[in-house]
Amino acid sequence: MTEESALAAAVPPPGGGTAPGAGPEAIVAGLVDRARAAMDAYENGDQARVDEAVTALAWSIYKPENARMLAELAVEDTGLGNVESKVVKNTRKTFGTLRDLMRVRTVGVIEELPERGLVKYGKPVGVVGAVCPSTNPAATPVNKAMMALKGGNAVIIAPSPAGQRTTAETVRLMRAELRKAGHPEDLVQILPPPVDKAMTHALMDRSDLVVVTGSQNNVRRAMKSGTVTIGVGPGNVPVIIDSSADLTDAAQKICASKIFDNATSCSSENAVVILDDVYEAAVAALVAAGGYRCTLREKAAIEGVLWQGGTLNRRVIAKDADVAARVFGLPKAAEQAKFFMVEEAAVGGKHSFADEKLSLVLTVYRAMDFADARRIATEILHVTGLGHSVGIHTKDMDRARDLAESTDVVRVLVNQAHTFGNGGSFDNAMPFTLSMGGGTWAGNTISENLNWSHFINVTHLVTTIPEDRPGEEAMFGNHWAKYGR
């Protein structure tokens, strides 16, 4: 399919009598009108029919030929990541999200608590504006659309300009599956090209809920729009390798996670902090897993290329290791490696190796002891990524609990590959998602993984129960005993 035909199929002419040459506000108003009409026709009071719609969306990208085609198109369009990783992302994230969504009720009576006199009813939030990043131009739109439709809503997707063609094709496939299942196609729409800030901002202003993944400028703009907004903060994951860690296992997991989709994930390890007594052994394990240990001269060469004018260099962002090695000016041996390790003595600031790198560069710090490792990880998060995530490889759960109690992040992963565990996994309890909230630490409204519960309103039917009124002694007795009446 050509770019023009993909866009035309995914983006029907705006409704509502929009005049030719209309501005962003009029175009978006037409799309919102279509979305509301689709919601009126959606059988969103019937959980079974809603679940069929969600399954249709999942199949649109999970279908093997579609998963690969969209992965190839995404890499071709954006130049970010690699095809095989994106195939895994398109299928694994979608399957996991579908599993989660099929296990919950979201419309009609979703919970009954007779002992508390409560019945809860799930209801739609309305038209969802979903702003999506170039790093996941297929998987993220489907992920958000599944959650939105699970709540009985319609969704309008604002793609990244770089990934617009991929997202348009993704939307075309979703609409086709909805049509096959007898649902209104306009439950899923996309902003028409050319997508720009004005069009995206108009969508933010017109939606009932905005969910933003990607650009922090978009997150901040959405928060100022006056529309209820869920935005997620940047990642910059530091991982501690403790003295008790299984070094081979830790190195293999860090490598697999770091190189997945060429480090496009916000959950990709950006730094490892290794305790002094296992430092050389851990670095050796990382080299054995595929890492290249850079010399001081090579480190300086990487630093000179990685940032250009205060921004990350697109020539190395999410590029294959051999491509990045040549751009960095590294030797042939580095081209055969899977990722590059640069060793730092102290945590720098923005645009230093402590910052998020979105590339196959892994910063390595040496810590005197666990307390020092915890300090270094915290300093890294204060450069970028506060609220997001941290990890630890250890056999000492007391240290894992210490890290969780003392670090201002939403997620602390223990002995896991971050990219595969942070956004949900089949062997942990995190909900599958491609959008991870960082709490108020990151300026976000959620401190959990984006999930179905964020796409519904809940009405509470309240009836009386036997009076639950404790005595004054039960409430104030301890205070009176310690401080008097």
pLDDT one-digit tens code per residue, 419-458? 999 999 999 999 999 999 999 999 999 999 999 999 999 9
Pair 370, 353: CB distance under 8 Å: no
Give SS3 for 244: coil
- Tokens 């129960």 sit on residue: 465
Q: Which domains does the chain have, with CATH numbers?
A: 3-232+450-460 (3.40.605.10), 237-421 (3.40.309.10)
Mean pLDDT of 46-68: 98
Helix or strand run (H / E) with residue 158: strand 154-158
| Residues 71/142, Cβ–Cβ less than 8 Å | no
Start-to-end Cα distance in the chain: 79
State yes or no: pLDDT of 346 exceeds 80: yes
- Cα distances from 161 to residues 8, 135, 137, 284, in angstroms, run 16, 11, 10, 42
Residue 3 has pLDDT above 60, yes or no: no
Euclidean distance between CA atoms 62 and 187, whole angstroms: 19
Mean pLDDT in residue range 376-393: 98
Catalytic residues: 266
User: Does residue 5 register a pLDDT over 70?
Assistant: no
d(CA 317, CA 339): 13
Cβ–Cβ < 8 Å for 414, 397: yes
Q: Is-contact 432 125, C-beta < 8 A?
A: no
**Token digits for 266?**
């916000």
Concatenating the DSSP letter of every residue in 223-259 gives: HTSSSEEEE-PPP-EEEEE-TTS-HHHHHHHHHHHHH
In this model, does residue 20 exceed pLDDT 70? no
For residue 84, how many C-alpha atoms fall within 13 Å in the half-sphere facing its CB? 5
Q: Return the pLDDT at 57.
A: 98
pLDDT at residue 6, rounded to an integer: 46
Is the full-model pTM beyond 0.85? yes
Q: What is the mean pLDDT of residues 13-26?
A: 66
Residue 385 reports pLDDT greater than 50: yes
Q: Taking all residues of the chain, what is their mean pLDDT, rounded to a whole number?
A: 95
Name the β-bridge partners of 240.
Answer: 273, 392
Average pLDDT over residues 200-209: 96
Nearest to 374 by CA among 414, 407, 346: 407
Provide the pLDDT for residue 240: 98
Q: How far apart are CA 35 and CA 409, in angstroms?
A: 36
Please report which confidence band the pLDDT of residue 214 belongs to, taking 50, 70 and 90 as the band edges: confident
Can you tell me the mean pLDDT for 40-54? 97
Q: What is the pLDDT of residues 122-160, one digit of tens each?
A: 999 999 999 999 999 999 999 999 999 999 999 999 999
Least confident stretch, 1-10, 248-257, 311-320 = 1-10
